[in-house]
């Protein structure tokens, strides 16, 4: 099967979160299953050098306000289709936000264009290549099945994956014509969402299959607490919904070969992890001690539960723990953590920003990682931590619940525990989980056992790639609908 991935970001080329890591890894895993995969992305400034060395496979005279070209190239083991449209993507700032931090006012056009071209490739092919399956990711690719539906011709089936339902791509209904959408699709069963256009709802309503990134999150999405207003639609389409757990690229995340570590190590030589720990202490201005070094590598948002962690810091420090935090996000949280670092000098270190090499070093040197998310579709950070023997302390939700086995008495007795879970998700229970982790750390043999089990836990893509292939194999092309004049 030829498969076209359509997404807004892809590691290592352009990344704001876990979506990019997934798009950079899954096509490689699917290739090992015999699928031919191409990844279509906007040609942001960071991708323009790659585009310059590729070959043109399609041109568009007027793509939502300007000419565009689709360029095929290869890099990092991936075949890329880069959508070169300077009027939409060649600009400063992040891929979603202006330099001032606001959404680009034409984000609807920018990502409608991505879906529109994806639909054209699905229908007409590109330089002789035509996909059998379209795999659209998150709201930025959500309009793709809508454009296929209104084409009036038989099209390849679409799989829509929800990476985070909190982001839905909602725009004013007055944009319907500008987005080249058939008014016949603006219904409760189509793209309409409380009187507005929802890109994500379009994908969920019109795709032939829906996946999300962990089995527990798939179940959670059917409830009002987690469904973010789309739980009714997902309940109606429950037979088409499945949860397939994310994995990680085990070549990129490998403590034995990672170039960002001071001292690479394996489960057989955990003592070398201490050299990385010393480097983290130096970079974060932490005083060496016999207590555990916790870390946070995260966006600083309420979703990630990092406001709760602030309440737990005094007890964490009083029990001999220390914290190294790397992240950026909510300005109030940034300020609060900087203040905590000043208050707990030598015990709490904070670096505000995004630093991929430093995140590898932190996984390779810290003793435990804190992930107190209020909801977490899958999470990749805890998978990196398992791979590096950095013990996760996680909220019992979504993919965190699916990937971490709690080190309670039963888990330790059965020799299967890999971390610490807590629920309900509040500061009191987070504090208790931190205390359990510190008490376990004070038992070196038990802690080393946790580390070795964590490092043996399967975190790659092999099983999930087989699950995606099974989803693809179960699909047949949808029936076309006629466009209205």
| Residue that has been written with the tokens 């070094």 in this structure | 293
Sequence-ordered list of residues with C-beta below 8 angstroms from that of 392, at least 6 positions apart, any chain = 368, 369, 371, 381, 382, 385, 386, 400, 404, 418, 419, 420, 454
Q: Quick one: which H or E segment has residue 349? A: strand 348-352
Q: What does the alpha-carbon distance between residue 106 and residue 219 come to, in Å, rounded to a whole number?
A: 34
Q: Which residues are annotated as a binding site for ADP-alpha-D-glucose?
A: 15
Beta-strand ranges (E) seen in 385-424 are 391-395, 420-422
Q: What does the alpha-carbon distance between residue 181 and residue 241 come to, in Å, rounded to a whole number?
A: 25
CB of 255 closer than 8 Å to CB of 270: no
Q: What does the alpha-carbon distance between residue 151 and residue 156 come to, in Å, rounded to a whole number?
A: 12
The SS3 of residue 471 is helix
Q: 444-456 and 427-441 helices cross at what angle (nearest 10)?
A: 110
Q: Which residues are annotated as a binding site?
A: 15
Residue 12: cis peptide before it, omega within 30 degrees of 0: yes
Calculated CA dihedral for residues 368, 373, 377, 380, nearest 10 degrees: -20
Q: Where are the alpha helices (DSSP H) in 251-348?
A: 273-284, 306-318, 331-343
Calculated CA dihedral for residues 395, 398, 404, 409, nearest 10 degrees: 60
DSSP 8-state class, residue 126: B
Beta-strand ranges (E) seen in 206-334 are 209-212, 241-243, 293-300, 322-329
Pairing of strands 36-42, 78-84: parallel
DSSP 8-state class, residue 10: B
Calculated CA dihedral for residues 26, 273, 434, 309, nearest 10 degrees: -60
Q: Quick one: which H or E segment has residue 238? A: none
| CA angle at 427 for the pair 426 and 432, rounded to the nearest 5° | 105
Q: Which residues pair with 83 in a beta bridge?
A: 42, 70
CB of 368 closer than 8 Å to CB of 309: no
What are the tokens at 114?
């991505």
Cα 303 versus chain centre, distance = 14
Can you give the length of the chain in residues? 485
Q: What does the alpha-carbon distance between residue 170 and residue 184 come to, in Å, rounded to a whole number?
A: 18
């Amino acid at each position: 099967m030829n498969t076209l991935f359509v997404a807004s970001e892809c590691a290592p080329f352009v990344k704001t979160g876990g979506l990019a890591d997934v798009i950079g890894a899954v096509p490689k895993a699917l290739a090992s299953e015999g699928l031919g995969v191409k990844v279509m992305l906007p040609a942001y400034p960071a991708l323009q050098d790659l585009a310059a060395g590729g070959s043109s496979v399609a041109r568009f005279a007027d793509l939502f306000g300007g000419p565009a070209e689709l360029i095929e190239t290869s890099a990092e083991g991936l075949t890329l289709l880069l959508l070169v449209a300077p009027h939409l993507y060649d600009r400063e700032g992040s891929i979603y936000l202006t330099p001032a931090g606001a959404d680009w006012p034409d984000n609807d056009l920018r990502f409608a264009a991505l879906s529109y071209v994806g639909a054209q490739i699905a229908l007409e092919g590109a330089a002789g290549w035509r996909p059998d399956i379209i795999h659209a990711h998150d709201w930025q690719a959500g309009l793709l099945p809508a454009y296929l539906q209104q084409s009036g011709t038989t099209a390849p089936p679409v799989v829509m994956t929800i990476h985070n339902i909190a982001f839905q791509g909602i725009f004013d209904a007055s944009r319907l014509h500008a987005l080249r959408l058939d008014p016949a699709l603006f219904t409760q069963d189509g793209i309409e969402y409380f009187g507005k256009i929802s890109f994500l709802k379009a994908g969920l309503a019109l795709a032939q299959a829906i996946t999300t990134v962990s089995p527990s999150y798939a179940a959670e999405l059917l409830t009002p607490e987690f469904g973010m207003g789309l739980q009714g639609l997902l309940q109606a389409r429950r037979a088409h919904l499945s949860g397939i757990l994310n994995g990680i690229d085990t070549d990129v995340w490998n403590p034995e070969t990672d170039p960002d570590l001071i001292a690479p190590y394996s489960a057989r030589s955990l003592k070398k992890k201490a050299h990385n720990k010393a480097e983290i202490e130096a970079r974060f201005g932490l005083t060496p001690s016999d207590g555990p070094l916790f870390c946070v590598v995260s966006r600083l948002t309420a979703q990630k539960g990092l406001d709760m962690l602030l309440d737990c810091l005094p007890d964490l420090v009083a029990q001999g723990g220390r914290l190294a935090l790397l992240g950026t996000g909510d300005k109030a949280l940034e300020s609060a953590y900087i203040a905590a670092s000043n208050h707990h000098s030598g015990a709490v270190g904070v670096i505000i920003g995004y630093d991929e090499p430093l995140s590898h070093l932190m996984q390779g040197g810290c003793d435990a990682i804190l992930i107190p998310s209020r909801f977490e579709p899958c999470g990749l950070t805890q998978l990196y931590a398992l791979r590096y023997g950095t013990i996760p302390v996680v909220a019992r939700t979504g993919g965190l619940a699916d990937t971490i086995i709690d080190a309670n008495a039963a888990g330790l007795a059965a020799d299967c525990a890999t971390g610490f879970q807590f629920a309900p998700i509040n500061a009191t229970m987070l504090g208790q989980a931190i205390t359990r982790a510190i008490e376990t750390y004070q038992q070196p043999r038990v802690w080393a056992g946790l580390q070795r089990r964590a490092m043996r836990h399967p975190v790659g893509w092999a099983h999930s790639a087989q699950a995606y292939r099974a989803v693809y194999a179960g699909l047949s092309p949808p029936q076309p609908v006629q466009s209205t004049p």
